Structure 1
Amino acid sequence: MTDDDGYFGEPIAARYDDPSDDMFQPEAVDPAVDLLAELAGDGAALELGVGTGRIALPLSARGVPVHGIDMSRAMVARLRAKPGGDAVDVTIGDFATTRVAGEFAAAYLVYNTINNLTTQDAQVDCFVNAAAHLRPGGCFVVEVGVPELRLLPPGQTAVPFRISDTGWAFDTYDTATQAFSSNYVTIVDGRAEHRAIPFRYVWPAELDLMARLAGLRLRDRWEDWKRTPFTGESRQHVSVWEKPAR
């Protein structure tokens, strides 16, 4: 990842906050904030990839001091313009390596943001960075999907996830490298516009090993923020790794 806005510059930031999107609904936001506030307790929280503040702002409003890291100035500008935005400190930088002052009770990555790190090395660095910011007994929380490779029949590399009269969206996978991309085709005035964002998918067991390399240990894993049990049929997970107490 570079030190510019990357794939989340002004064109994406301008339309990122969609109040009709499920991710912005109270039933999606409130359980996440509930759990993170519980884990933070009397301490501070660090959000890696804070974006426009979907989680950071309501968590801050609960009385939890929140610091965010993000490389997109366009996204962060929108966070700062919102009510309460001045209460969330933000450092511009790559959340896999950028260090900030202070010690945190909880660090977290939500909504598949770990996949924005497109190499295994970068994902490992992210765990090391999160662990370095945690106080003893602190927790690192990641919300991410389970790779949907079961949807791929032999010879197929694409999985559609949205189809409408004005466009369609699909993911493409490279199972040899774990690289995948989300592709969006939009019809504007009869012409097709294409946008692709690269990611790297990662397995739960792989994340557990990254955590061990960073000195963390798995404490909990659920299917969602409401602590639904995680099973072999779960399509996503919320995992909590703990830094051992001194």
Structure 2
Amino acid sequence: MSIIKLAFAITLSAVPVILSFVEPAAAQRRLRTNTYSQTGSDQQNALAQFNLVNTARDGSEITDSASDLRVGLFLGAIQDYISGNGEVCINGGNLGFQPNCPASSINTGRYVLDANGFLIFNPDRPFVPNTIPFDADLRAEFIQDDEFISYSIVRPGQTEPVLNYRLYFASFGFDHNQAVNNLSYIQEENILGRASRTFTSSDGSIELIGGDVLIQNRFERDIPNAVPEPSATLGALAAVSIGLLFKLKKKQV
């Protein structure tokens, strides 16, 4: 066998090996988003909205970055947090002070929800933002002595949380480890929607305050992973092979 044929044979045999390490270009994963509205103590006016996501702005997956198993830290998991004001539809409101809100036929709770269980705003008083949206981190901490989980929304570079929540997980049957360290679990179980808003007073004591964090929307969509294109890999391999063949041929002349 000539040197050129040998080099060509080696190149062909290397292709399957190289391709075995290349993922398909169409590889995808799921972007999950829960959209929440936070009501005030009157449980009628929404004061803030935000998205809880499992994917960072750069497309990477958001995972727990805390080393302590009792703490969960999800950097960038809160996106588009914005303050504002709007009025949610209250059951029975359509009979009086909210004439343009729909009547509720699927639930008997305080709020009017659509068929998917999502919050409905009063069309006469929709949510109107009054600040610029920002992204933040979600922090969770298991407080073993009191058997609850503390959740905080914290802006990067700041120490004071934007919002604080407390969840007494035993009453809901949640796995407290998953509810602290697993962002997908927090989303799927709508854990923030079961938590109570808290306030830390000047003496350090924590008080429960009125208001609910209500899920307004939930959606998923596929997003492509940043993986190498097989065609690019083959192109580079072909270029190397051609160069090698010309070099060997030149030596034979």
Q: What is the TM-score of this pair, normalised by structure 2?
A: 0.21
Q: Which has the higher helix share?
A: 1
Q: TM-score, normalised by structure 1?
A: 0.21
Choose 1 or 2 for highest CA Rg.
2
